[in-house]
Copies of this chain bind each other. A is one copy, B any other.
Amino acid sequence: MMRYPLLLHTILERAHRLFPGKEIVSRDFSGMFRYTYGEFYERVCRLANVLQKMGIKRGDRVATLAWNNHRHLELYFAVPCTGAVLHMVNLRLFPEQIAYVLNHAEDRVIFIDQDLIPIVEGIRGQIKTLEHFIIMTDAGNLPESSLKPLDSYESLLRQSSPVYDFPTDLDEWSPAAMCYTTATTGDPKGVMYSHRALYLHSLMSGMVDTFAVSEKDVVMPVVPMFHVNAWGLPYTSTLVGAKQVLPGMRPDPRTLCQLIQAEKVTVTAGVPTIWMECFKLLEDGSYDVSSLNRIISGGAAVPRVFIEAYEKKLGIPVINAYGMTETTPLVLLSRPKSYMKDWPEERVYARRAKQGLYVPGLEIKVVDENGNEVPWDGQTMGELHLRGPWITEEYYREPVLTGEAMRNGWFKTQDIVTIDEEGYVYICDRSRDLIKSGGEWISSVDLENNIMAHPAVAEAAVIAMPHAKWQERPLACVALKEEFRGKVTAEDILQFLRGRVAKWWLPDRVEFIDEVPRTSVGKFNKKALRHKFFSELFN
């Protein structure tokens, strides 16, 4: 068979040739911007010429600090298809972390959305390798800035040729893109995505049993484009010629619902907190979201009550998925198997609330501390290990951390999971979030889900508190829905949990808070909670 390299170029060309009239819609700073794949392609070519004129060579890193918009999508293709590497910087990192990743990646150029200029200005003194700052706007909107040399994206594009001959001789193993983990301890760690990995991940994401992205879809990634390739959706959507809807800067639940209605979005994807917030808006019928036929939720499991509510009240299936920065990202996805249609609803929802089955093309195993596979009983906890063509085998320029993350060719996720007799994986906890009580493990995630099933609870996070006798004991931080505040007691919560969890799992303390703090990608920030309650211990 042909020595044909698996390159992102093949994806770009297909949309250009077969679907030139299909639309890309972008929520820009000045309103809605619409164009076609045909026009998109021409601008990607112009951008490739801009990069060439700047002297960007194969392997050079090009950074973006940007929201989900059409210019970011153009960079998603122009940078890797010329052979350079797209470094999507997480704009929610602390400024000193942003400086760290820009320096660590040795980015030569950075493309910045106009509202994010102050972030870069603030760390200008710490940045070592950037030679060029490009603001993703037209010349008229180019602000005064201390960043030099400064250019406007649109001016550069206008000055460039709309024709570019993309190389087809790149090595498929060459890096196409990179992201850094949102480190909760230590510095962020870099992960390089090869052309090969992204090509394979794109084929896989178009499969019926995974994301099932098709030409008929209207795809709106709410997951940020600075976070793990926006779960690969920009690449998969382009490969199959799906209409794309990019929701722009800080989209709030109302904006998202409006976009779904206006653009007839069929599939959207993001962290569960977003779907919980949107639910309130959708429940009262203010928006017509009948076009939406699935929601993909990742980053944390959607509690079962929400899956049920979405399906029964709105008729929209919510699909739990699981992946990480290190895995491109898709690893697990929770769809029921065909024969489960005859199962009692209860049993099916119990599976769907898990992270699910590993997707085609990968291998997984769940191992105990000695590296032996645990039984598939849905009870025994073990660490999830992964192997496959879109799983990382190293952290960029971090040989020591790489060594710690790998074991005999498998990537150790540090996620503690169970796997049941049907192969559905359930993430009990990050290994550091597990509560070790009297030699046994308590899953903080499990406790949270049970607390969140209480009708008065908006959200809950459980952390481990040091304990003299038991080593660790759970503390539950509970945010009540507004109308229940002051009306529900800690004892009410504990009473609700009795019978739902083992007696020794019951939290030693229940603390009411206004809301659970979030990390930069919208997950529960347990580090902040631990910091808050640990500090109390020592005051």
Interface residue ranges, A against B (CB under 8 Å): 1-4, 6, 10-11, 13-14, 17-19, 21-22, 173, 192-194, 196-197, 199-200, 202-204, 206-209, 212-216, 239-241, 328, 337-339, 357-358, 360-363, 387-393, 409, 411, 422-423
Which of chain B's residues have a CB closer than 8 A to the CB of A13?
Answer: 363
The minimal Cβ–Cβ distance linking A402 to chain B, given in whole angstroms, is 12
How far apart sit A196 and B6, CA to CA, in the bound complex (Å)? 11
Give the chain B neighbours of A14 by CB distance below 8 A: 358, 360
**Pairwise interchain contact A360-B203, C-beta atoms closer than 8 A:** yes
- Distance in angstroms between the alpha carbons of A203 and B207 in the assembled complex: 7
A-B contact pairs, 13 of them (CB 8 A): A1-B193, A1-B197, A2-B387, A2-B391, A4-B387, A4-B388, A10-B362, A10-B363, A11-B360, A18-B423, A203-B207, A206-B209, A208-B214
- Taken together, the copies of this chain in the complex come to 2
State the CA gap A192–B212 with chains docked (Å): 31
List residues of chain B with CB within 8 A of the CB of A422.
Answer: 18
Please tell me if the beta carbons of B206 and A360 are within 8 angstroms of each other in the complex. Answer: yes
Q: Which residues of B contact A6 (CB under 8 A)?
A: 200, 389
On chain B, the residues within 8 Å of A199 by CB distance are 361
Chain B residues with CB under 8 Å of A204's CB are: 203
Instruction: Select one of B207, B337, B388 contacting A208, CB under 8 A.
Output: B207
List B contacts of A197 (CB < 8 A): 1
Which residue in chain B gives the minimum CB-CB distance to A213?
B208
Closest to A424 in B: B18
**Bound CA–CA A423/B387 (angstroms):** 37
Shortest beta-carbon distance from A377 to chain B in Å:
15
B214 touches A391 (CB 8 A): no
Chain B hits for A2, CB < 8 A: 387-389, 391-393, 409, 411
In whole angstroms, how far apart are the Cα atoms of A422 and B338 in the complex? Answer: 36
The one of B203, B390, B393, B409 that contacts A361, using a Cβ cutoff of 8 Å: B203
- Contact among B1, B19, B208, B391 with A1 in the assembled complex (CB-CB below 8 Å): B391
How far apart are A266's CB and chain B's nearest CB, in angstroms? 10
Which of B215, B411, B423 is A17 in contact with, Cβ under 8 Å? B423
A388 to chain B: closest residue by CB: B4
6 new A-B contacts, CB < 8 A, other than A1-B193, A2-B388, A209-B215, are: A1-B192, A1-B391, A200-B200, A207-B240, A209-B240, A241-B337
Closest beta carbon of chain B to A364's beta carbon, Å: 9
Whether A389 lies near B4 (C-beta < 8 A) is yes
Complex: A38 Cα to B110 Cα, angstroms: 53
| A1 neighbours in B (Cβ, 8 Å) | 173, 192-194, 196-197, 328, 389-393
Task: Decide: A208 and B212 in contact? CB cutoff 8 A.
Answer: yes
A240:B360 contact, CB within 8 angstroms:
yes
Could you tell me if B391 and A360 are in contact, using CB atoms closer than 8 angstroms?
Answer: no
Q: Which of B208, B212, B239, B389 contacts A360 (CB 8 A)?
A: B239
The distance in angstroms between the C-alpha atoms of A240 and B22, with both chains bound, is 30
Cα A115 to Cα B241 in complex, Å, equals 48
Closest 10 A-B residue pairs measured CB to CB? A208-B214, A206-B207, A1-B197, A18-B423, A216-B338, A203-B203, A2-B393, A4-B389, A1-B194, A239-B360
Among B3, B173, B200, B207, contact of A207 (Cβ-Cβ < 8 Å): B207
Cα distance, A291 to B282, chains bound together (Å): 35
Is B393's CB under 8 angstroms from A3's CB? yes
From A19, A22, A209, A387, residue with most partner B Cβ within 10 Å: A209
Whole-angstrom distance between the alpha carbons of A213 and B422 in the complex?
20
CB distance from A392 to the nearest CB of B (A): 6
